[in-house]
Structure 1
Amino acid sequence: MKLVLASLFCIAMISCKEAPKETQAQSETAETNPTLDDSNYPEAMRKVFAAHGGLATWKDHRMLSFEIAKPDKREKHSIDLYSRNEKIEMPGIVMGSNGKDIWLLDENVAYKGDAVFYHNLMFYFYAMPFVLSDEGINYSRAEDLEFEGTSYPGIRISYNEGVGLSSKDEYFMHYNPKTFQMEWLGYTVTYRSGEKSDNIKWIRYNDWVDVEGLILPKSLTWHDYEGRTIKAPREPLLFENVSLSKVPMADEFFAKPVNAKIVNRKKE
Structure 2
Amino acid sequence: MPEAYERHLVPVFFRPFAADLAARAAALRPRTVLELAAGTGALTSALLIAVPTASVVASDLNEAMVTAGSVREPRADWRQADAQELPFEDGGFDLVLCQFGVMFFPDRPAAYAEVRRVLAPQGRFLFNSWGPLASHGFGAAFQTALEQSMPGSAPSFVKDVPHGYCDPAVVAADLTSAGLTLAAAEEVTLEGVAESAASVATGFLTGTPVSAALQDREDAQALRAAVTQRMTDRLGTGRVTAPMTATVYTAHK
Same fold at TM > 0.5: no
Of Structure 1 and Structure 2, the greater helix share is in 2
Larger radius of gyration: 1
Give the structure-1-normalised TM-score: 0.27
Give the structure-2-normalised TM-score: 0.28
